Amino acid sequence: MSLADDLAAASTTLPVRLTRQKDGSLGGEAVLAERKAFLSRKKLAYKCKARVDDAARVVRFWEILVEKGSGVSSGMDDMSPGFGFKAGTYKTGGKERSGSIEEASRLFGQDYSYQWDYAAVRTALQGVAAAAGYGWETVLNPKSV
């Protein structure tokens, strides 16, 4: 079994399942939170990408949190009253980020809550790479993977 197969197998116990992409890398995406309310939609997703470089014996890894929202605002959640559209992208600070993110809010009587540990996926995959004798490199651009 190759290291890429080992990483994909290890991801089955994680919130993000890695699958082989057309370009040979491993990629995964998980929806952390989603809220659909009266004419409003908000979604938070985690994406990651990894590539095993056998020649250099290193795994290159990239990750991002993406928040997208659209619809009619109720005047809450830092949007102005009336109609509003919001789209945002949040990248992990620096090359790596540890800790967790939590949010709990209320819109039209529906709860929108999530808790996410940034380092959970990265740490688990780093352990698999280290056990195989590979180094680890976190990159800021998905094209660098």
Q: pLDDT tens digits, the chain, 145 residues: what are they? A: 799 999 999 999 998 999 999 999 999 999 888 877 777 788 888 999 999 999 999 999 999 888 888 877 555 554 433 333 333 444 455 566 555 555 555 544 455 566 777 788 999 999 999 999 999 999 999 999 9
Q: Is 8 helix (H, G, I), strand (E, B) or coil?
A: helix
> 92, 99 in Cβ contact below 8 A?
no
Residues 41, 90: Cα–Cα separation, whole Å: 18
Look up the pTM and report it: 0.73
Residue 34 is predicted with a pLDDT of 82
Q: Count how many Cα atoms sit within 13 Å of the Cα of residue 93 in the half-sphere of its side chain.
A: 5
Residue 21 is predicted with a pLDDT of 95
Cα dihedral across residues 25, 97, 66, 17: positive or negative: positive
Residues 42, 34: Cα–Cα separation, whole Å: 6
Residue 130 is predicted with a pLDDT of 97
Q: Enumerate the domain spans of the chain.
A: 3-140
Enclosing H/E stretch for 128: helix 119-131
